[in-house]
A and B are shown apart, each in its own frame.
Chain A
């Protein structure tokens, strides 16, 4: 991962959050991705979300795999702990990290190759385990660092820069996550920060596995005519099912929502999501319907965005393995060691 320190310039007029930090405190090194890369917009959305949520940067684990997308944790929250793991294996590292310390926020960034090709196995199982994390897929349908090969999310008929059409059926990370039992599934577009920021905030506050599949065009290898992951294509084929407003706990709901226009969902930590419907028939609490809608639109060459599914019964891995609220790593070794007397009793039982 390239690293270019960003000069710290202080702006006395910059707004401060509840922790007294400015948005500068949530930035990272300068991006070394191509100018105009969709991933940089997602980075900006992450910075804005964390700043506005007043998350303590050092209480975040920034997890990633390998690829252009996985480089981006270097570009946000420089005072958070970063873990740039190996290709397709970020989920297992995050699982271990979360098992050891459930009281950090795990914000993971992956790509479509990292998630749907080499990492599809770990992606499937981390969802099944309901790991409490936000998993963002920066999905551009191709491999950037190795110069434009198709990934497993490329649509049938989508053309490479050389004009070759993809013939294999795509894996849709959102549909896949729904089938694996994810509790929070959203899709967004890197070009739509207004949609993305509230989704990231809600995903970070969701107690369970949250996925945001973000279509994020690769300006160098996949932004041409004939590509279904280009800015132009996504803009003209996007169908937004709803708009999410995220209201943190203890904040008042300031906007007036017309009756029947919005649904209110309260998360375990007291924060609220207001879901404004754009598609009146779309029910984000119906897993089967969500799957059907994704497929139906896909057949029409459209991609639906918004909060696609939410299971309000938040549950996560630690509920299944009955671990205490206190993180396992906080236990002193002396507390965990049964000691001499216990061993003597065991010796007797083996005699």
Chain B
């Protein structure tokens, strides 16, 4: 029998039933690898359901530091009878299948090229745990014990994690310790331990942190000084608000119990957007977090904010569309929607974080940009980045950082101004007008409207005056390009043969794929776009390469369309690879599809 032999380079996959408490047990195993100093890439693949449907959790352990989704599995814990057959088939030859051997294996679940590790999980749980509810939960802990034996991880590591997880509930410790012991001892007794896959202690993640993107976005909003949130619950964006709420609760409560923030759960996304617009108009930093279906509803106010020039920060945690689509699966398919959201001529600033650290940084930056340019700013994350844990360098805060509220006239300035204040004048020739907050000064008052207006803020149906104002807004949008974060490039080939363009979560598997191609003698250059509108660097990269391949996580090559449309590139000059099945892009997929594209072009 072939056995996969690997140290610190493997993928373990858990197949569970949603609602059985598997997430915390699986997370505990992932955390143990991290505690042993290893880079990990956990991915939660879950259904739109609370209880009963299949759910998977994968952890990639990679000493080399590749934590994007690799594809395939080396060890699978198969706890879900509904998907058992599929989970058996999915395992790599020579892999290890951990299963509950309380019942005998079906004939059609047998493969002769994998290693079966049967542990009588249900039987042990039944014999040792009386409480029915905790029995279900502890089944998951039993297989963690079994894996500890297989990977040769000291049980003490897990005991520590249990104590960390339930710091205030020591009563829960004993049951968990017991379950760990049961799995561990049974496996040690009945199977050769360690198995071919070994976990060996390293110091590769010293001072690193584990965090998910949504938590970083929410914390960023706290650091940005946001005080008002209008939101409507929507997977996968809800945890952004939960994070904001958690950290506000920690940092923004005064001794007398006053909360220096307002989180308002709206009746729908239209109202959520209206609250953000109202609060920003009134001088607070305000934001919402949502996903594609929410953006569709918010489009009315996004257009208003664009035209009336009101700052607005929107975190779009993209999921699989169209319509309700697959709500718990990932995609980057709102690029065109957000770039041009709402009717009439509208264009919006977008930031594309690709890591937890960037989620934090771009969250803060989005508020500065929205204030500076008095316009909606989208932070375009996705479910993969938002809801999965990543190993990251620690978040940093520069104490000398100055928040940028943009061009706001205060009471003193209004008091001493010789000229009368008008809202939409282009005084500095950069397209950005001056604004006032309501109630500051009698001469700062103006009428905010979404109907046609001239540079004085007055209602108009005069074509020329309307157009003059629209031209200025367009100029403002171009001014913004200079203040947006610049794309990141990795140049391996200075003859500029093949250049690959990506955004967000595509970058990690792409980088791995490019390194794999390098070992095969194919050198490609990478460009990670981090903002929209695109600057000259993006154009130059596209124009300078003989072949440009754009990777999209949507069916219709939206990133490519945006590049063609905004930079006036020849569509024929851009090749396209689209991965849009709702799962994170895999490096193996990119290696294969890139090899094909590069070869196609060479022919």
Chain A: minimal CB distance from B204 (Å):
13
- Tell me which residues across on chain A come within 8 A of B405, comparing CB atoms: 333
What are the interface flags for A71-84 relative to B under an 8 Å C-beta threshold, 1 for contact and 0 otherwise? 00110001111111
- B282 lies within 8 A of A339 (CB): no
Could you mark each residue 303-324 of chain A with 1 if its beta carbon is under 8 Å from any beta carbon of chain B, else 0?
0000000000000000001111
Bound CA–CA A94/B271 (angstroms): 10
Does A267 make an interface contact (CB < 8 A)? no
Q: Decide if B267 touches A328 in the complex (CB within 8 Å).
A: no
Spot the interface stretch: B9-17, B223-231, B558-566. B223-231
Q: Given the known A-B contacts A58-B445, A93-B281, are A323 and B271 also in contact in the complex, defined by CB atoms under 8 Å?
A: no
A137 to B549, CA, bound (A): 57
A94 touches B278 (CB 8 A): yes
Please indicate the chain A residues that have their CB under 8 angstroms from the CB of B247 in the complex. 338
Contact partners of A124 in chain B: CB under 8 A: 267
* B222 surroundings in chain A (CB, below 8 A): 336-338
Q: Given the complex of chains A and B, what is the CA–CA distance between A346 and B218 in angstroms?
A: 13
Q: Is the CB of B451 within 8 A of A86?
A: no
Q: Are A82 and B448 in contact (CB under 8 A)?
A: yes
For residue A257, CB closer than 8 A to chain B, the reply is no
Cβ contact within 8 Å between A100 and B276: no
21 pairs from A and B in contact (CB 8 Å cutoff): A1-B447, A2-B459, A57-B442, A82-B447, A82-B449, A89-B301, A92-B270, A92-B272, A93-B275, A95-B278, A96-B264, A96-B277, A100-B279, A101-B282, A321-B262, A321-B263, A321-B264, A322-B259, A324-B259, A329-B227, A351-B207
- Whether, in the assembled complex, A347 has its beta carbon less than 8 Å from a beta carbon of chain B, the answer is yes
Please, which residues of chain B bring their CB within 8 A of the CB of A81?
A: 438-439, 445-448
State which residues 394-451 of B face A: CB under 8 Å. 394-399, 403, 405, 437-451
Task: Tell whether A324 pairs with B260 under 8 Å between CB atoms, given A92-B270, A99-B228.
Answer: yes
B575 close to chain A: CB less than 8 A: no
A100, B396: Cβ atoms closer than 8 Å? no
The one of A324, A344, A347 in contact with B258, judged by C-beta atoms closer than 8 angstroms, is A324
> Measuring CB to CB, which residues of chain B are less than 8 angstroms from any residue of chain A?
207-211, 219, 222-228, 230, 247, 250-252, 254, 257-264, 266-268, 270-286, 300-301, 304, 394-399, 403, 405, 437-451, 458-459
Partner of A85, one of B207, B228, B274, B459: B274
Which chain A residues lie closer than 8 Å to B396 at the CB level? 343
Please indicate the chain B residues that have their CB under 8 angstroms from the CB of A295 in the complex.
none
**C-alpha gap A322/B248 in the complex (Å):** 13
- 8 tightest Cβ-Cβ pairs between the two chains A and B: A96-B278, A92-B274, A100-B284, A333-B225, A96-B275, A81-B438, A96-B279, A93-B278
Contact B451 A323 (CB under 8 A): no
A92 touches B278 (CB 8 A): yes
Complexed CA–CA distance, A337 and B304 (Å): 29
Closest to B256 in A: A324
- A103: interface (CB < 8 Å): yes
B137 to chain A, nearest CB (A): 24
**A3 and B459 contact, CB distance less than 8 A:** yes
A121 sits at the interface (CB 8 A): yes
Contacts of A340 in B (CB 8 A): 397-399
In angstroms, Cα B439 to Cα A216, docked, is 30
Q: Give min CB distance, B163 to chain A, whole Å.
A: 15
In the complex, the answer to whether B275 meets A122 with C-beta atoms within 8 Å is no
Residues of A within 8 A of B224 (CB): 333, 337
With a cutoff of 8 Å between Cβ atoms, the chain B residues found around residue A321 in the complex are 259, 262-264
Nearest-neighbor residue (CB-CB) of B230 within chain A:
A96
Residues A322 and B274 in contact, CB atoms below 8 Å apart:
no
Known: A93-B277, A346-B219. A100 touches B271 (CB 8 A): no
* A84 smallest CB distance to B (angstroms): 4
